[in-house]
Every structure is written in C-alpha cells, then in structure tokens.
C-alpha cells in the first residue's frame, strides 16, 4: 500500500501551520511560545545565574541546564502524572545537546543558564517544538548565539518521506512509520539533533535530512519574525 494522501491533507513537504511569540513571560530573562499544528511549547530562560549545588559548577564556563515537562492536561488521553519520566529526562538531555553548540558560555564560569520547556497541549513533534521555542527564548535572554536552532520531526509513512509528522501519522496503522526528529542550524548548515524510531534505508535518511533542512529554514523564518516583532519589527517605521 502506498501513502498517497496525508491524513490531514497537507503536501508531503509541508509543515503544519506555525505561530511564534517572544517575551511572553515577563519575569523570565527570555521567553517564547512556539506552536506547530496542535503542539504548543512554552520556553523560559533564567540566567546566567547562580548555580547550586556546587559540584555542578564548571570553573571554565557556564553550564546549560534544560528541564522538559508536560502539563498534566497536555496529553490526548489520560491525565499525565506530574513529575519527570525517563522519557522527559532523555529529551532534556538531547535538547541541551541541540542548543549548546551555538552558545558561548565562557563569560559565565560557575554559573548556569536554565531553560524550562513546558507543554499545555501536544500533538506530536513536541521535542522539536520545544527546541524551536527554547532557541528563541535564549536569543530573547540576550545570550550570544552563533545561529538560531530550528527543529522538526521528519518522518517516513509507508513509502513516503514527509515533513512534520502529526499524531495521527505517528499512530498510522496501515503501514510502517519512522519518526526522525532533527534540529538544524540554518546559517551554519549543521545538524545538532538527530534521532530515529523505525526502520529505514540509508537513502531515506539522506532524503529526510534534505527535507529537514528545507523545512527548518522555514521554521527559522517564523522564529526570526517573532524575535523581530517583539521590538515592533525593528525600526522600519521611522517615527520622529
């Protein structure tokens, strides 16, 4: 059987509609919301700030600490029990590794930059949405970043490589599904996150990465606009 038409009618290379807003949490040093389809991620950055316990401190540079959490009402079925799970701990780790390469924390020895990612609503692609939100929040916090970080889950549904899997596609029963989340640096043209669940041929990976680059650049445009919009899209409108 062949996956001819996507369950939600999208083109194979089309990500779901996106929305982003920066500076949504006034108390944080930086914050952002990223929405893709029905997945909504909030990210807040606090730091560089004091780090306890002492043994976590690095005397040569600041550390990045990511906390990833789903709100109890964010799952489509049962209530999600609060408190971390092994899954959320692993996602926090790969998120940290996805963001760290663009940051330079050498000005902040012994300090920490805390990133908190929370979800009020999810429909697949949450770790990627979290990374996209976190990248905006880090920029909003005024941290030096070589590039933005944009993330999307590319997938293979049956025989098709598709961009931005939705929940229904992840749960597709009429064929095999592979889920390939990736994070990408749009200007430096590098990947900082790559994971996969499923079975694919090597060729599919190449196609997937190619598609990922294309879609991540689109996501980067959304992130860029949101960052600029916080300041009234720069100073094009020349007031007195």
Neighbours of 239 (CB within 10 A): 5
Handedness of CA 77, 9, 223, 99 (dihedral sign): positive
Strands 111-121 and 63-70: parallel
Neighbours of 217 (CB within 10 A): 14
* Binding residue (CB under 8 A) for another protein from 74, 88, 95, 126: 74
- Closest to another protein by CB, 95 vs 223, is 223
Whole-number Å distance between alpha carbons of 84 and 225? 33
Subset of 163-192 contacting another protein (CB under 8 A) = 185-188
Residue 151's DSSP bridge partners are: 183
User: Is there binding between residue 139 and another protein (CB under 8 A)?
Assistant: yes
Subset of 8-47 contacting another protein (CB under 8 A) = 24-30, 38, 40, 42, 44, 46-47
**Residues 90/91/96/99 CA torsion (nearest 10 deg):** 150
Q: Candidates 7-15, 139-147, 198-206, 207-215 — which segment interacts with another protein by CB under 8 A? A: 139-147
Whole-number Å distance between alpha carbons of 88 and 202? 28
Subset of 193-222 contacting another protein (CB under 8 A) = 220
Please state the closest distance from residue 34 (CB atom) to another protein, in A. 14
* Binding residue (CB under 8 A) for another protein from 63, 94, 102, 211: 102
Task: Please state the length of the chain.
Answer: 240
Please state the closest distance from residue 96 (CB atom) to another protein, in A. 14
One character per residue 54-73, x = contact with another protein (rule: CB under 8 A): -----x--x----x-x-xxx
Neighbours of 65 (CB within 10 A): 16
* Binding residue (CB under 8 A) for another protein from 54, 55, 86, 240: 240
Please state the closest distance from residue 16 (CB atom) to another protein, in A. 13
């Amino acid at each position: 059987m062949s996956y001819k038409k996507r369950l939600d009618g999208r083109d194979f290379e089309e990500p779901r509609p996106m929305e982003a807003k920066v500076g949504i949490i006034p108390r944080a040093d930086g914050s952002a919301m990223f929405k893709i389809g029905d997945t909504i991620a909030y990210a807040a950055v606090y730091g560089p700030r004091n780090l306890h316990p002492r043994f976590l401190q690095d005397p040569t540079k600041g550390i990045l600490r990511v906390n990833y959490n789903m709100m109890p009402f964010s799952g489509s079925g049962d209530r999600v029990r609060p408190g971390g799970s092994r899954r959320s701990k692993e996602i926090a780790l790969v998120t940290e590794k996805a963001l760290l390469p663009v940051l330079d924390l050498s000005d902040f020895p012994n300090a920490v930059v805390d990133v908190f990612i929370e979800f009020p609503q999810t429909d697949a692609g949450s770790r990627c949405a979290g990374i996209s939100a976190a990248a905006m929040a880090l920029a909003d916090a005024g941290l030096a970043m070589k590039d933005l970080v944009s993330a999307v889950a590319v997938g293979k549904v049956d025989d098709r490589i598709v961009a931005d899997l939705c929940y229904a596609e992840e749960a597709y029963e009429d064929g095999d599904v592979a889920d390939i989340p990736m994070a990408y640096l749009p200007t430096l043209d590098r990947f900082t996150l790559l994971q996969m669940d499923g079975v694919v041929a090597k060729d599919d990976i190449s196609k997937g990465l190619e598609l990922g680059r294309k879609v991540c650049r689109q996501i980067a445009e959304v992130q860029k606009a949101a960052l600029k919009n916080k300041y009234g899209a720069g100073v094009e409108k020349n007031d007195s």
